[in-house]
Amino acid sequence: MLNLCDPRTIKQVMDMFGLNFKKEFGQNFLTDLMTVEDIADACSPDDSDITVLEIGPGIGCMTRCLCERYREVVALEIDTGLIPVLKYTLDGYKNVTVINEDVMKADLSEILAPYFAKGKVAVCANLPYYITTPILMKLIESQLPFESITVMVQTEVAQRLCAGAGGKNCGAITAAIDYYGDAELLFTVPAERFMPPPKVTSSVAKITLWKDKPQKPISEEMFFRTVKAAFEQRRKTLPNSLMTGFSEISKERLTEIIIECGHKPDIRGEKLTVADLVHLSDKLYAEINGGQV
Ligand code: SAM
């Protein structure tokens, strides 16, 4: 059997199908089988009776490991050129479905409905770096009941995912992730374990989604509007950054609301925890729609 992590084999397979690595699709393939196995193991260590959604199977190295560990695998690959490659490398694997689609355009709820009907679904991927945050936001905002999302991303992004809202390195994505689940940084993977090697170090992070979200804002839409406004102007103080997102409220009133929430008026948005952001968004909701919180 071909070792799809061996650099010579990767090159041979790509040549056989007349393909080059496409930078625009973030094609950096893993060349270390142990790393691939560690990622596949981390996806669902205690339960093999799940379906795994893989985003970007490439030539199928991690796809094979996932097929060997879990009940079923659904792999979404944007690059049409890789579809015949996957047919070749995954020949003999009966529990995989490869779909030639852009994950950002795919109707995940329709694609995954038959698999959710059968049981649990988790996500596992070595994500293309050019589009990591939009993919993660799409996955969590889809509100699909994934068990977990295990992803390899740029280390800087992984640190942001796992920073904990209010902590160092946190951003809007940190607050969104904290709202939906619990993120954990698993391990780091050096650039030389990829072909071609990326310019950055990578890390694997796992987000375990809450079954019942601990924070319940009055309006989820207002919560995300608050998060966006609080983080968009990170260098500004909270009243100033909220002014951009909430132009219907005066700066004086925004400052009062921030003080009513128990914060100093010169606080920056990045210092707020998810609970703080929920409280603030409820106050803003009441201010705009009338009522008390
Ligand atoms: N899984 C393989 C591995 O670990 O070696 C390849 C990972 S490579 C970093 C990213 C993969 O995602 C590539 O196969 C690329 O073509 C695919 N990809 C990029 N953008 C995509 C998108 N929007 N939807 C689906 N797949 C995408």
pLDDT (tens digit per residue) in 114-149: 999 999 999 999 999 999 999 999 999 999 999 999
Q: Is the pLDDT of residue 292 over 80?
A: no
CA of 21 to the centre of ligand 1 (A): 11
User: Which residue of 89, 126, 203 sits with most ligand 1 atoms within 8 Å of its CB, as the best mutation to test the pocket?
Assistant: 126
Coil, strand or helix at 153: strand
CA of 95 to the centre of ligand 1 (A): 20
Residue closest by Cα to atom 11 of ligand 1: 56
What mean pLDDT is predicted for residues 203-208? Answer: 98
User: Which residue of 21, 79, 132 sits with most ligand 1 atoms within 8 Å of its CB, as the best mutation to test the pocket?
Assistant: 79
The pLDDT score that the predictor gives to residue 26 is 97
What mean pLDDT is predicted for residues 176-193? Answer: 96
DSSP strand pairing (194-195 vs 29-30): antiparallel
Percentage, residues of the chain above pLDDT 90: 91
More confident residue, 231 or 107: 107
Residue closest by Cα to atom 20 of ligand 1: 25
CA of 108 to the centre of ligand 1 (A): 16
On average, the pLDDT of the chain sits at 95
7 — phi, psi (to 5°)?
-55, -40
pLDDT (tens digit per residue) in 226-285: 999 999 877 789 999 999 999 999 999 999 999 999 999 999 998 999 999 999 999 999
Q: Is the pLDDT of residue 6 over 80?
A: yes
Percentage, residues of the chain above pLDDT 70: 100
| Tokens coding 230 | 């609080």
The pLDDT score that the predictor gives to residue 232 is 84
Q: Is the full-model pTM beyond 0.85?
A: yes
The pLDDT score that the predictor gives to residue 1 is 82
CA of 126 to the centre of ligand 1 (A): 7
Ligand 1 atom closest to the Cα of residue 28 is: 9
Question: 3-state DSSP: the chain helix, strand, coil percent, rounded to 5?
Answer: 45, 15, 35
Lowest-pLDDT range of 23-27, 38-42, 170-174: 170-174
Residue pair 51/58 in contact (Cβ under 8 Å)? The answer is no
The pLDDT score that the predictor gives to residue 236 is 87
User: Which residue of 11, 13, 78 sits with most ligand 1 atoms within 8 Å of its CB, as the best mutation to test the pocket?
Assistant: 78
Residue pair 92/66 in contact (Cβ under 8 Å)? The answer is no
DSSP strand pairing (148-154 vs 202-209): antiparallel
Q: Is the pLDDT of residue 168 over 90?
A: no
CA of 78 to the centre of ligand 1 (A): 7
CA of 142 to the centre of ligand 1 (A): 20
DSSP strand pairing (50-55 vs 120-126): parallel
Cα dihedral across residues 64, 65, 71, 73: positive or negative: negative
Residue closest by Cα to atom 19 of ligand 1: 25
Q: How far apart are CA 235 and CA 246, in angstroms?
A: 17
Lowest-pLDDT range of 104-108, 146-150, 213-217, 230-234: 230-234
Confidence at 72, pLDDT banded by 50, 70, 90? very high
Ligand 1 atom closest to the Cα of residue 29 is: 5
More confident residue, 164 or 215: 215
CA of 136 to the centre of ligand 1 (A): 14
* Helices marked H in 81-129: 82-89, 108-118
Confidence at 167, pLDDT banded by 50, 70, 90? confident
Residues with C-beta less than 6 Å from any ligand 1 atom:
25-30, 55-58, 61-62, 76-79, 102-104, 126, 128, 131
User: Which residue of 4, 55, 195 sits with most ligand 1 atoms within 8 Å of its CB, as the best mutation to test the pocket?
Assistant: 55
Ligand 1 atom closest to the Cα of residue 104 is: 23
